[in-house]
Amino acid sequence: DTGVSQDPRHKITKRGQNVTFRCDPISEHNRLYWYRQTLGQGPEFLTYFQNEAQLEKSRLLSDRFSAERPKGSFSTLEIQRTEQGDSAMYLCASSLGRGQETQYFGPGTRLLVL
C-alpha cells in the first residue's frame, strides 16, 4: 500500500503570496486530517474531512486558510496572503473512518514565508 503523500515537500514564498498544498491519503481511507507543526512543538490539529465533508475546523484555522476535498480523495490546503507566522510544517494524515482508529501521516510540507 502506498502511504500518505504530500506535495510539495518544501515551499518558500514571500509574505502576501498565496500557497496551496496537496495531500493524497492512503487509498480507501475515508478520513483526512490536516495538522500544523511549528519548531519544537507537537502537531496541532487544523481540520478534518469525512469523505468530502469538512466536519471540524480548529480556531487556529483563520479566514486566510481554506481546505477542500472535492471528490473525497485528495485534499488541498490553501493559505491566502501568507504571513511570516504561517511558517511551519503542514502535515496531512488519513484513517479508515471507523471510530477512533489510527491516523497515518504523510511526510509533510515545510513552508517558509519570507
Partner 1 sequence: AQKVTQAQTEISVVEKEDVTLDCVYETRDTTYYLFWYKQPPSGELVFLIRRNSFDEQNEISGRYSWNFQKSTSSFNFTITASQVVDSAVYFCALSAGITGTASKLTFGTGTRLQVTL
Shortest CB 106 distance to partner 1, Å: 7
Q: Distance between CA 30 and CA 11 in Å, rounded?
A: 27
Shortest CB 18 distance to partner 1, Å: 23
Question: Which residues contact partner 1 by CB under 8 A?
Answer: 31, 33, 35, 40-45, 48, 50, 55-56, 58, 89, 91, 93, 95, 97-100, 102-108, 110
Q: Which residue has the cell 504561517?
A: 86
Query: β-strands 109-113, 10-13: how paired?
Result: parallel
Residue in 1, 4, 3, 6 with CA at minimum distance from that of residue 76: 6
Residue in 110, 36, 100 with CA at minimum distance from that of residue 67: 36
Residue 14 or 39: the one with the smaller Cβ distance to partner 1 is 39
Residue 80 or 89: the one with the smaller Cβ distance to partner 1 is 89
Residue 21 or 35: the one with the smaller Cβ distance to partner 1 is 35
